[in-house]
Amino acid sequence: MTDYECKMTRFPEPVLGKKARPIEVIDESIRALAERMKEIMVDNKGVGLAGPQAGVDLRIFVVSTDGTRENAKVYINPKIEPGGGLTENEEGCLSLPGIWGKIKRYKKCTVTATDLDGNEFTEEGEGLLARAFQHEYDHLEGIMIKDRLSAAAKLRARRQLRKLQAESSGPGE
């Protein structure tokens, strides 16, 4: 059993740019990781958080569309099936503070995942929930919103991305 060091992870941390590994065994360390991820999500006023955002390259995310710990649900080794046509909405990311942009996502999304007791379940989402599923799943694939921005939005984000890179390599690390 491993205890995962779990902390809010921001661009340009390498874990954010690579595909996460499947979780083989759901044990106390995974349950503790899920609880810590809920805490990080709520503390940072998010509606979702994926393993890589917590500095862990595992296929797990938590989502709570109202941003509360009580309503946060854990998804282990999720698979998604988006559908229902595309819609464009303003989106931000806890791992890219200060960067917002219009991101195209599917209006609906079905996720099939495993819960903390090892049971597989399927859930359908629309609107914000569907968007959160797709956003967090992207993190498991090593994709961030900066990768989905339009060319103009990427230009607008350039300064903030450079600032985040400078902060990560600056003094005090």
**CA count, 13 A, side-chain hemisphere, 95:** 28
Q: Is 39 a catalytic residue?
A: no
Interior angle at CA 120, CA 117 and CA 124, nearest 5: 120
Cα 150 to chain center, whole Å? 20
| 125 SS3 class | strand
Residue among 106, 134, 144 at smallest CA distance from 14: 144
Residue among 33, 125, 23 at smallest CA distance from 78: 23
Token couple for 122: 């399927």
Residue among 114, 129, 131 at smallest CA distance from 78: 114
Q: Which of 81, 90, 126, 136 is catalytic?
A: 136
Positions marked catalytic: 136
